[in-house]
Structure 1
Amino acid sequence: MFSSDHVGAVFFDVDGTLVPGTSSSVFLAGFLGHRDELAKAEDAYASGDLDNRQVSELDAKGWAGVPEEQVSGWLDGLPLVSGITETVAWSWQSGLVPVLVTLAWSPVGSYLTDRFGFHAFSGPQLEATDGRFTGRVARHFDEYDKRECALTHAWELGLAPRSCAAVGDSRSDLPLFASVRLSVAFNASADARAAAAVTVDGGDLRGVLPVLSRMVTATR
């Protein structure tokens, strides 16, 4: 439990939000040899023609035999928006606990949490045995799990949903957008923009700070 200095939490999506123009899975699939196939599957998910389970199982097959320790080196080259370090620092300083909730694989969430200082992360998990991925999914995680994990993080922090914000860009953010006080569509799809309270566009995550600042002021 955090001190009373923490007045809320802010949940950040990864793919399309912190990772612009692509997804971490498609980026990593470039090393694994199935980038084009996965990109088409993710487009089908965005349009509603595939569900998250189908996309995850397709992607996981390409990970078979890959050493777990190899992933962090690949992720050092992951394209990211500017301003993540500063936005996370501002969140802590302003009384908002920054948390990653994402459909990106858990190695991605773990990497970004350690690199930028997020409080925690939630996401799907690849199965691994003896230090290598098996090509199977250990834990599926869809847009509703994303919402439930975010609300669980809030509860564990002693926070109500009305004290929380979510920053995201796509279909996977819609259930969470509907469950928190402030929803921010960042460089978002049309459906995310329609569902969000506020829309922000730009190449720097710090663009969301004025909106979050107003929530902090109102919460206090």
Structure 2
Amino acid sequence: MTDFEIPGAKPETLLITLTGKDRPGVTSSVFATLALAGVEVLDIEQIVLRRRLILGVLVTAPRDWKKLRDAVEETAASLDMSVDVDRGTGDNKARKGGRSHVTIIGTPLKAAAMGAVAGRIADCGANIDRIERMARYPVTAIDLHVSGADPDMLRSVLAAEAARQGLDIAVQPANLLRRGMRLIVMDVDSTLIQGEVIEMLAAHAGCEPEVARVTESAMRGEIDFEESLRARVALLEGVPESAIGEVYDAIQLAPGARTMVRTLRRLGYRFAIVSGGFSQITDRLAEDLGIHFARANELEIVDGRLTGRIVGAVVDRAGKAAALRQFAAEVGVPEAAVIAIGDGANDLDMLNAAGLGIAYNAKQMVRDAADTAVNVPYLDAIMYLLGISREEIEAADAEAGIVTPSPPV
């Protein structure tokens, strides 16, 4: 027991809050003053907003706490900063209930929308303990550390508010899974890449409109995926094999796709693509991007032309989920550590099988069923849900000699 503790009483503490223009040596000067009093540090927060520093330090209060207060005020004056010293008892109150990370993505993020989200969190009896900016361009992404509410209940409440405010909001339990090595399983058409490969192939057969209509119906879940796929592939009969190479060369990745894969691979993540499309395309994509696993349907080719048939079993809705489980087992991670990303009805089983299912620019029925939805056209925005900031991404790219666009001034 130290000389400032009384048996059975809550320990007295001092909350020291320093504000002013940031400069080198501010934090070290404050702690040099605190060191002379021999106090213990119980908590600390420091942020810098537009070169203005806010430093909060919670310390044990010595017997002669007024002497320490005077010394801290003298130090602050020498730094041309303001300081407030508040005497009280105890540490930060431990809040009952779960802890969550609430990630908010807006383009832009309006003050009214942020206020509405904060209001719903308060309505749940929860508290925002910490706020961090993950990105300010091309989207604004904010991560809230929230305590005092069950994550599932919070997710339900904030999903409704996100729809009202036109935001993307993800709620994840605050646990070690967010920091561990994970497996990311992605759909391909309209997720990893822009557009649908089968429609691009159909353009070579002169039946693109018909194929597009069936594709849309299948993605909305109106017709059986396998039935629709076989019907669409039948229309490709006679298309030369060379068309596959032409389609591959014309593919455009989703904005941010390379950045996401490159960055997360550096952190030890594993990637898989699981597609109702075709292995002749997905295998090349996997090789190009450095993706570890790929699963898709195989087009039958005879004498240099498509036969209009598929070789083997169809990778459908159930097949995608089965592939996810197989890849997770091969990597050695639980399904709770898998992140699945998709946009169509045939992705639903895969999204439900994952620990975090993300509907990416998806149909409404998929957004309603997924854990969260990302509706901005940047695939790398998903990294903000994992606690990785834009600044960290750009710093890693700079070390590797990769030039990234400058933010708007």
TM-score interval w.r.t. the shorter chain? 0.7 to 0.9
Q: State the partner residue of 1:218.
A: none
Q: Which has the higher strand share?
A: 2
Q: Which has the higher contact order (CA 8 A, sep 6+)?
A: 1
* 8 A contact 2:220–2:363 mirrored in 1: no
Contact 1:52 1:141 in 2 (8 A): no
The residue number in structure 2 matching 1:105 is 278
Cα distance change on mapping 1:80 and 1:15 into 2, 3 Å: same
In 1, Cα distance between equivalents of 2:287 and 2:381: 23
1:37 equivalent in structure 2:
210
Q: CA RMSD in A?
A: 2.0
TM-score in terms of structure 2 length: 0.48
- Residue 336 of structure 2: which of 150, 159, 162 is its match? 162
Q: Is the 8 A contact 2:204 2:239 kept in 1?
A: no
Would the aligned equivalents of 1:12 and 1:100 in 2 still touch at CA under 8 Å? yes
Alignment partners' CA distance in 2, 1:37 and 1:193: 26
Normalising by the residue count of structure 1, what TM-score does the alignment of the two structures yield?
Answer: 0.86
Q: 2:353 corresponds to which residue?
A: 179
Structure-2 separation of matches of 1:128 and 1:31: 15
The answer on whether the counterparts of 2:236 and 2:308 sit within 8 Å (CA) in structure 1 is yes
Could you tell me how far apart the structure 2 residues matched to 1:40 and 1:70 are? Answer: 21
Unaligned runs of 5+ in 1: 1-5, 215-220
Displacement of 1:76 in angstroms is 1.1
Report the AA paired with residue 7 of structure 1: M
For 1:58-137, list aligned pairs within 5 A.
58-137=231-310
Q: Distance in 1 between matches of 2:256 and 2:269?
A: 16
Sequence identity of aligned pairs in percent? 26
Say if 2:340 and 2:358, in contact at 8 Å, map to a contact too: yes
Distance 1:94 1:126 in 2: 35
Instruction: Tell me, in whole angstroms, the C-alpha distance in 2 between the residues paired with 1:41 and 1:104.
Output: 14
Separation in 2, partners of 1:43, 1:145: 20
C-alpha contact 1:68 1:131 (8 A) present in aligned 2: yes
Q: Which structure 2 segments of 5+ residues have no match?
A: 1-179, 389-409
Counterpart CA distance in 1 for 2:260 and 2:275 is 17
Higher-Rg structure is 2
Q: Does 1:10 align with 2:184?
A: yes
1:144 maps to 318
Count of residues paired in the alignment: 209
The corresponding residue for 1:3 is none
Give the Cα–Cα distance (whole angstroms) in 2 for the partners of residues 209 and 8 of structure 1: 12
Counterparts of 1:13 and 1:46, CA distance in 2? 12
1:17-36 equivalence runs, <5 A: 17-20=191-194, 22-36=195-209
- The question of whether the paired residues in 2 share the 8 Å contact of 1:67 and 1:131 is answered with yes
2-structure distance, mates of 1:18, 1:130: 31
Contact 1:8 1:96 in 2 (8 A): yes
